[in-house]
Amino acid sequence: METLFSRLAGTVVLLAEDAPGGAGAAKPGGDLLQLLIPIIPIVVLFYFMIMRPQRREQARRQTMLEAVQKNDRIITAGGIYGVVTNVHREADEVTIKVDEATNTKLRVTLSSIARVLGDEASEEENSK
C-alpha cells in the first residue's frame, strides 16, 4: 500500500517539473503514459474495495427478497418487526402482521424489508 502512494507522489513530482530539453519540448506519448501508470492501480483498488463488495451485497439482498414467503419473520427498514402474511410480487407489496393481540397488519413494499429473521429469532422467543 505504501509503494502505491510513493509511486503516486513520485509521479506528481515528475509531472510538476519542466519537460527536459528546454522550453516547450515534450515527448509525444510519454506524458500520457506517466499519467496512466498510477491511475490504473487506483482504478483496480477502487473496484476491489468498493464495487465488488457492493455488487455482492446487492446480489445477497436480491436473493433474500426473492425468498421471502408467508410466515417469515422480518424487520423492515423502519425497524418494525413482523410476520409476513401475504406476498404480492407483481405489485411489489408485502402484508405483515405486527401485533398478534389486535391483529394489526401493515402493507409495505418488498424493498422495505431490511432483514429476514431466521432460526435465531425463534430461539430467542423460546428462551424467554
| CATH number, position 102 | 2.30.30.30
Contact 80, 66 (CB under 8 A): no
- Where does a domain end: 49, 65, 81? 65
Question: Which residues span the domain enclosing 109?
Answer: 68-127
Q: Are 44 and 95 found together in one domain?
A: no
Q: Is the pLDDT of residue 57 over 90?
A: yes
Q: Are 115 and 74 found together in one domain?
A: yes
Write down the pLDDT at residue 26.
54
Write down the pLDDT at residue 28.
57
Q: Is the pLDDT of residue 33 over 90?
A: no
The mean predicted confidence, pLDDT, of the chain is 81
Q: How far apart are CA 95 and CA 123, in angstroms?
A: 24
Per DSSP bridges, beta strands 113-117 and 73-76 are: antiparallel
Q: Is the pLDDT of residue 48 over 80?
A: yes
Q: How far apart are CA 62 and CA 85, in angstroms?
A: 20
- Where does a domain end: 13, 38, 65? 65
Contact 59, 53 (CB under 8 A): no
- Where does a domain end: 65, 91, 112? 65
Q: Are 10 and 46 found together in one domain?
A: yes
E strands of 1-128, at which residues?
Answer: 73-76, 81-88, 93-99, 104-109, 113-117
Q: How far apart are CA 116 and CA 64, in angstroms?
A: 7
Q: Are 39 and 75 found together in one domain?
A: no
Q: Are 74 and 61 found together in one domain?
A: no
pTM of the shown model = 0.59
Q: Are 41 and 54 found together in one domain?
A: yes
Q: Are 61 and 73 found together in one domain?
A: no
Q: Are 40 and 90 found together in one domain?
A: no
For 44-48, what is the mean pLDDT? Answer: 91
CA angle 78, 67, 107 (to 5 degrees): 40
Write down the pLDDT at residue 43.
92
Q: How far apart are CA 13 and CA 60, in angstroms?
A: 44
Decide which of 53 and 19 is more confident.
53
Per the structure, the count of domains in the chain is 2
Q: Are 75 and 54 found together in one domain?
A: no
Q: Are 91 and 36 found together in one domain?
A: no
